[in-house]
Chains A and B, each alone.
Chain A
Amino acid sequence: MKWIDAHCHVGQGIMNGLDADKLLADMDRLEIEQAVILPWDRAIAVDNEEGNMFTLELAAKYPDRLISFCTVNPWFGYRALEEIDRCVALGTKGLKLHPPYQGFQISDPFVLPIIEKALTYSLPIYIPTGTPVAAMPMQLAYVADLYPEGTFIQGHFGFPDFWIDSIPSVEHRPNIYVDIAYNAISTIEHAVKTLGAERVLFSSDAPYLSLDNEIDKLLSLSITEEERQLIGRDNMKAILEGGRR
């Protein structure tokens, strides 16, 4: 087994969510050792507890294969903070926020307590970018500047509309990683060249994207095998073990 998928979805959703048995079978077939799992769309938007329990139970059942990241909608206020406490106690390894689904802008003031709570537990924070007006690379950069001690993952690397901002938003911010889902091979190769392979993570966003295609893409990158290993596994392994590289 070679790879770690930094971000995919399980459960039954309208636009995402994947049967866990199918995910595990696909992981076996594609040599993916571990996957970070998030719940389906509705559970991200509103039914956070239900979704988080679902991923935590799967992670408990398959501790060597599946890793739970929790999600909370910042609009739930103190209940969102409590939900992070609860998930950490049950073994979650990170936090995902989804600005378009959850209806906020990354830099909104009421989001900051959520970020701070996650950082008290040293949880890495995954936030997709690329969707105006809610999820833009420079908004994440603003928040990352407030918390230099944090580990942020700029999901989707600004795809599709923010290809101009994606590099400037992260190049002087070592606390932001980027992932390769959605992006073209040439864009990823450019990111590796500009930022270094240490800052780039493999993620599939399956089943919204095809896991087969995203692995195919990882294998098709014109980079060294050492760089492929960093992107495909080692960087995320280090993040999950609690240390930034």
Chain B
Amino acid sequence: MIIDFHTHFNGGVYSEKSDAEHFISVMGKNGIEKSLLLPFDGFFSDFREDNDLVSEIVGRYPERFAGLGTIDPRQGETALREIDRCLDETNLIGFKFHSWLQAFGPLDVDFMRLAEEGNRRKALFFFHDGTPPYSEPFQLAELAKRFPDLTIVLGHAGLPDLWHESMLSALKYDNVWLCFCGTPFWGMKEMTERMNGERIVWGSDYPAAKEQDILERIKQVKYLPCSDNMKEKILYSNAVELLRKYEKNNPVVGGSR
């Protein structure tokens, strides 16, 4: 089985409106047991409303979805309160930030305040990475250093140009995880070897990546010259480990806790 650790519920102008039942049928066609839903519209509009939408989908299908919210770090107290509201009052288990699309630098004072609160809550922060100027892996590694109780997932493991930075970040800081998604073969191969298959998950980016792209991205892992055990960890059991840590009320995948 597979856990897709990088999907979006709705994809803005890049996809049709998401429909949970259709989403689940697409997962079924690709052997995906559970998907981590990230927001998209909330990057640009009322994030609280979008967070509630993702939470509601997770609440309807807790065995098939986990979900993250997002926050505009420039909203001051409102932004800080949203961390607590999401973690205490919704089904969301952490936050996705697309600092490039949301137009903030991860080391901005505004964002550092959010990261500090996230650290206090031992939260899961998931980032788009691999894209300068606002989504450089070392910027996110600096957050990992300053906020060691935060778990930071690099959502593209550096993409073709910056995977080396992403790998070095994960090797240096135990609270950095890598998500293979648009990462080149050579980078995935080296990261898998150097990380011994640990702290690596896989994601499709559906529906930003289309239905026909999911299987191809699964195959990218299957073609890696590493053991089947490593591939299973990347496609499934590492994600189970991470979800178990954060899913409080939802059933987790992969058998009993």
**What is the minimal beta-carbon distance from A187 to any residue of chain B, in angstroms?**
8
B25 part of interface (Cβ distance < 8 Å): no
Supposing A186-B213, A210-B220, A213-B220 touch, asked if A131 and B185 sit within 8 A by C-beta, the answer is no
Q: Is the CB of B213 within 8 A of A130?
A: no
Residue of A nearest to B220 (CB): A213
Chain A residues with a Cβ closer than 8 Å to the other chain, count = 25
**Contact residue among B159, B215, B217, B223 (Cβ-Cβ distance under 8 Å from A160):** B159
> Bound state CA distance, A212 and B182, in angstroms?
17
Q: Is the CB of A182 within 8 A of B184?
A: yes
Annotate B216-254 by CB proximity to A: 1 below 8 A, 0 otherwise.
Answer: 110110011000000000000000000000000000000
Supposing A185-B216, A213-B219, A217-B216 touch, asked if A100 and B184 sit within 8 A by C-beta, the answer is no
A25 part of interface (Cβ distance < 8 Å): no
> Bound state CA distance, A206 and B161, in angstroms?
16
Residue of B nearest to A160 (CB): B159
Could you tell me which residues of chain A, from 204 to 236, have a CB within 8 Å of some CB in chain B?
A: 207-210, 212-213, 216-217, 220, 222
Q: Is the CB of B216 within 8 A of A16?
A: no
Q: Is the CB of B132 within 8 A of A210?
A: no
> Bound state CA distance, A210 and B221, in angstroms?
10
**What is the minimal beta-carbon distance from B22 to any residue of chain A, in angstroms?**
16
Q: Is the CB of A213 within 8 A of B185?
A: yes
Which residues of chain B are within 8 angstroms of A216 by Cβ–Cβ distance?
216, 219, 223
Which residues of chain B are within 8 angstroms of A213 by Cβ–Cβ distance?
185, 216, 219-220, 223
For the complex, would chain A's binding face be called helix, strand, loop or mixed by DSSP majority?
Answer: loop
Which residues of chain A are within 8 angstroms of B215 by Cβ–Cβ distance?
220
> Bound state CA distance, A160 and B132, in angstroms?
11
> Bound state CA distance, A208 and B213, in angstroms?
20
**What is the minimal beta-carbon distance from B127 to any residue of chain A, in angstroms?**
15
Which residues of chain A are within 8 angstroms of B132 by Cβ–Cβ distance?
132
For the complex, would chain B's binding face be called helix, strand, loop or mixed by DSSP majority?
Answer: helix
A157 part of interface (Cβ distance < 8 Å): no
Q: Is the CB of B160 within 8 A of A130?
A: yes
Q: Is the CB of B184 within 8 A of A209?
A: yes
> Bound state CA distance, A199 and B131, in angstroms?
28
Which residues of chain A are within 8 angstroms of B184 by Cβ–Cβ distance?
182, 208-209
> Bound state CA distance, A131 and B219, in angstroms?
25
Residue of B nearest to A190 (CB): B210
Q: Is the CB of A209 within 8 A of B186?
A: yes
**What is the minimal beta-carbon distance from B46 to any residue of chain A, in angstroms?**
25
**What is the minimal beta-carbon distance from B10 to any residue of chain A, in angstroms?**
17
B171 part of interface (Cβ distance < 8 Å): no
**What is the minimal beta-carbon distance from A160 to any residue of chain B, in angstroms?**
5
Annotate B116-160 by CB proximity to A: 1 below 8 A, 0 otherwise.
Answer: 000000000000001110000000000000000000000010011
- Could you list 11 examples of A-B contacts with CB < 8 Å? A130-B160, A160-B159, A161-B159, A184-B210, A185-B212, A185-B216, A207-B185, A208-B184, A210-B185, A216-B223, A220-B216
Give the interface of B toward A (CB within 8 A).
Answer: 130-132, 156, 159-161, 182, 184-186, 209-210, 212-213, 215-217, 219-220, 223-224
Closest 3 CB pairs of A and B: A186-B210, A184-B213, A210-B185
